[in-house]
Amino acid sequence: MADREADGTRVPSFRLVHRSGQPPPINHIPARHCISRDAVANVHGHFHPRGLTRLRRSIGTPLFQQSASQYTHLSVTCSTRATRRLWQRMPLRVAHKWGERANHLRELEVHYPSFHPTWCMGTWVALLEGHGAARAGIARKMEEARRPEGGGSSGAASSEDQLRVEGTLLKLTFTRIEYPQPNASLRASFSHTSSTPLPPSGRPVVLPALSAVNNLPSQCTPVRVGREWRTPGIASISFDLDGTVHHNPIYITREEEEARAADVDAAPAWLLPQRLEQLRTVGCLYVPRGTDAADISALRQELVRRGCNKTFTKMPIFLGYVGGADADKRRLCSLAYLHGAVMDPLCEPEVADPTTRAFKMERDDSVATDIIAWAQAETSCVKKLVAAHAKAADTIVYRGGRGTHLAGISSDMFGERDPETQQDPVVFKLQAEEVSEEDMEQMAKIVAGMQEQWLEVTVAGAAAGENTVDNDPRSDDADHTGSLDMAARFLAKLHQVGGDIGFNMDVSLDPAAFADAEVATRWREASQLFADHHPNDLTVFATGEIPDDMTDAQWYERVLDLLVAFYETGTRGRVLTTGGTSHIIEQHFDEDGQREQAYHMRWEGFPGISVSPPNWPDEP
């Protein structure tokens, strides 16, 4: 509220009460409240470095220095043109000086363009090292003040312990700013900066309070080479590889983001700080199929060497597809050794959450039933790791082969999916040429136990690359309709064990199957095994080239024969093909199972053929 003189004249509620050589006006009464020097410094401490520099001459150097020391957060950002120019044009020596002034800094943020991860790297390194130098000087002065007059030891903590107590910088955070399709001029505007930091000073840069480094671009990790940075309090560290896939299969990554880290084998001297005793969490360990077990062992040895000896409390693992090959078994055993070496004994193996992580482009959370059976006889850690992966897996794969692979496997070993949460369904995939009656019955029981959740069943026949000369799908003696017959067998077995066929089913069928004129007849006969219990929707994928000895007319006639068989047996089915031309052939039914239309065919680039289905039943 404004002060008033005796005559009622309004005067300012705040004013400059003294200027050197100029006393205040005699008609002003003394100020009601005097603002302290610390309060003024706090106000000026909210100015950007550029704005504070402009005030230096008017407020004086002492207040300028005090105001700069009030900085607790600094952002080196490219978000606006003005701030980008400020940081790009700032000399590195000046940036180092600002780091010294900001001796109470608690968080340093770097916002860099997506196409230039090392933008202003020299600047933020100078700020970091300047702050460390200032804190070291403050700690030395405090230690000298505690030292007795005679210069002997006061019994106080050592210099290193004192530095640990006196640190202020807690967090170093990096954020990638996306620029969709940046043009040449935009890229050029970011190039006017040096990414090369100042030469190392030769003195240690101690950042004792730094506990978190978030999303460090892997292109910036070599900056530690030759610089003696000491971060004894680091508790978490995450990396960002700019959303690209690194060539080496082992990464330390950040969960829920498209972020990867460089592999420990690529440059073990600078990937992580030398001492990691305080490290407790790792975002995600990315070890998909194809990862060499020797690489995992190298990672284990490196982490243990740096102090991670049963200290981790969180390290989710992304496994990808886990089959029954020897390489998959070695990978799991190496991961079990790694878990035992670096994880707290009370922590269970954990896999990355498939609904939140960002490995979308290469997502393959599949688990083979034979690896689950194999793990039952392995160590407790291997068994728990496989069990956790099976719970999170999107696809359960049965590959068949010699002997049974379903002993001891039940439906409660696999995760649940709810369509209302927008999750993908669990897919049970029969990927085998032959299935024993024992395994077929066990698979039916597993699927029957999963009826309450969102489920799909896929019959794919032999996996690509697993065919031998004897069962080559292109050989004359091969049974090309085997997957269709297997689907019928499975539905029949599921009906026998009392399961409700309330799911969608996909069947991968070799195009050569339609060379068999009896393909539709075989489905009519097989469908008698499961009576009126049909899947909600049956989709046949006949992908590949039409056999050379078949004309397009024959091809369409056989496909439509199969659709007629679906209709006659009450199966809600369709056939999707890619052979010859781009087309989709479907048969639609209403909710009562009645035919909505005979069939629907659409194609592109092949308008010269018209095929009518033979013996189409009369309209009801």
Residue-wise pLDDT for 334-366, tens only, equals 999 999 999 999 999 888 765 544 444 345 668
| Rounded average pLDDT over 459-473 | 44
Better-scored residue on pLDDT, 463 or 125: 125
| Rounded average pLDDT over 50-72 | 86
Residues 6+ apart with CB under 8 A from 508: 458, 459, 460, 461, 483, 541, 543
Better-scored residue on pLDDT, 275 or 608: 275
Which of these, 155, 356, 399, lies nearest to 259 by C-alpha position? 356
Residue 266 pLDDT greater than 50, yes or no: no
How many whole angstroms separate alpha carbon 5 and alpha carbon 513? 104
H/E run at residue 73: strand 73-77
Q: First-to-last CA distance in the chain?
A: 91
CA atoms within 13 A on the CB side of 216: 25
pLDDT of residue 353: 64
High-pLDDT (> 70) share of the chain, %: 67
pLDDT of residue 578: 57
Residue 500 pLDDT greater than 70, yes or no: no
* From 367-381, 416-430, 465-479, the region with the lowest mean pLDDT: 465-479
Q: How confident is the model at residue 130 (pLDDT cuts 50, 70, 90)?
A: very high
> Which tokens is 381 given?
């850690």
* From 144-148, 507-511, 577-581, the region with the lowest mean pLDDT: 577-581
* From 10-14, 165-169, 444-448, the region with the lowest mean pLDDT: 10-14
Name the CA dihedral angle for 418, 420, 422, 428, rounded to a multiple of 10 degrees: 30
| Rounded average pLDDT over 203-228 | 82
> Which tokens is 102 given?
């900001």
Residue 135 pLDDT greater than 60, yes or no: yes
The DSSP 8-state label assigned to residue 419 in this structure reads G
pLDDT of residue 363: 52
Tens of pLDDT, residues 298-333: 888 878 887 888 988 888 887 888 888 888 899 999
pLDDT of residue 26: 61
> Which tokens is 220 given?
């910036």
Residue 185 pLDDT greater than 70, yes or no: yes
- Find the length of the chain: 620
The top-scoring range by mean pLDDT among 51-55, 185-189, 254-258 is: 51-55
> Which tokens is 608 given?
């010269």
AA letter at 346: L
State pTM to two decimals.
0.59
Better-scored residue on pLDDT, 266 or 80: 80
Cα–Cα separations (whole angstroms), residue 286 to 103, 260, 311, 477: 38, 9, 20, 43
Cα–Cα separations (whole angstroms), residue 289 to 3, 256, 356, 361: 77, 20, 20, 15
**Are the beta carbons of 165 and 208 closer than 8 angstroms?**
yes
Task: Indicate left, alpha or beta for 34 from its phi (over 0: left) and psi (-120 to 50: alpha).
Answer: beta
Mean pLDDT of the chain: 72
Task: Indicate left, alpha or beta for 173 from its phi (over 0: left) and psi (-120 to 50: alpha).
Answer: beta
Residue 75 pLDDT greater than 60, yes or no: yes
Cβ-based neighbour number of residue 373 at 10 Å: 18
Task: Indicate left, alpha or beta for 615 from its phi (over 0: left) and psi (-120 to 50: alpha).
Answer: left
pLDDT of residue 100: 92
| R_g (Cα) of the chain, nearest Å | 35
Residue 107 pLDDT greater than 90, yes or no: yes
High-pLDDT (> 90) share of the chain, %: 11
Residue 171 pLDDT greater than 80, yes or no: yes
Q: Kindly report each contact of residues 199-204 with a partner whose C-beta sits within 8 Å and lies 24 or more positions away, as own/partner.
A: 200/226, 200/227, 200/228, 201/129, 201/133, 203/133, 203/136, 203/228, 204/228, 204/229, 204/230
Which of these, 618, 586, 589, 614, lies nearest to 520 by C-alpha position? 614
Collapse the DSSP code of 224 into the 3-class scheme (helix H, G, I; strand E, B; otherwise coil) and give the result: helix
Backbone phi and psi for residue 429, each to the nearest 5 degrees, phi listed first: -115, 120
H/E run at residue 317: strand 317-318
**Are the beta carbons of 234 and 211 closer than 8 angstroms?**
yes
pLDDT of residue 617: 38
**Are the beta carbons of 237 and 279 closer than 8 angstroms?**
yes
pLDDT of residue 303: 82
Which of these, 246, 235, 229, 339, lies nearest to 279 by C-alpha position? 235
| Tokens 């030292």 found at | 147
Instruction: Give Dmax (Cα) for the chain.
Output: 116
Better-scored residue on pLDDT, 396 or 477: 396
pLDDT of residue 468: 32
